[in-house]
Structure 1
Amino acid sequence: MEHTDRQLPARLREDLVLLTAYLLSTGHGLLHEPAAYAPARAVDAARRTLGLLAEHDGPDRRLDEVRARIDEFFTDPHDGEPLAELLDELCVRMAEVVDAFQEDASPAETQPR
């Protein structure tokens, strides 16, 4: 596909390019930052991705709850709740979301391309 045959809306394409730049710059920054920063950076990337989904695909209660939980962790006092506990919780929630998405998908949507 040539670059003139765009299939994504321009705004979504721009947002994905910016997310890619964020992920790459995060990876670069982590070369010189303490290893403990990596999980928080990964969670922030997930938060940004969920924001893109909400903006471009509309609200989804399940995904919005995951994003709200991430926002809550980073913005509200969380009494020293370890990031590991948050990640455990979010991984379980996202596994449930993925399962629900697969159940909701029609057979035509799940066919390999």
Structure 2
Amino acid sequence: MGATKTDHFTERQNEIAILAKAIGHPARVAILDYLAKVNTCICGDIVNELPLAQPTVSQHLKELKNAGLIKGNVEGNAICYCINEDGLEKLQMYFGELFSLISDKKNQCC
């Protein structure tokens, strides 16, 4: 069997792509914004905040968690979600390095 397309890229490039894909939906951005404001909450709190059904919010939470942008801890019969700072730091570092490279080459493009 041949190599997958992701095999042609570095581990870091694949990792950044997963993180970027996770924030590539406005509902997920809204969830991150909300979690940043309230620090921790359960799914029902997010459902009350967004114009989405509970199963839809749960699916978005799953995508964010799988990408490593949020964490979820079981508390009783609910899961309490919060920002995973490690995931956001990876994005911050990547975009910081990218902006640094771009600013070094200002006005050198067509």
Q: How high is the TM-score relative to the length of structure 1?
A: 0.28
**TM-score, normalisation: structure 2:** 0.29
Q: Which has the higher contact order (CA 8 A, sep 6+)?
A: 2
- Greater per-residue helix proportion: 1
- The structure whose residues are more often strand, as a share, is 2
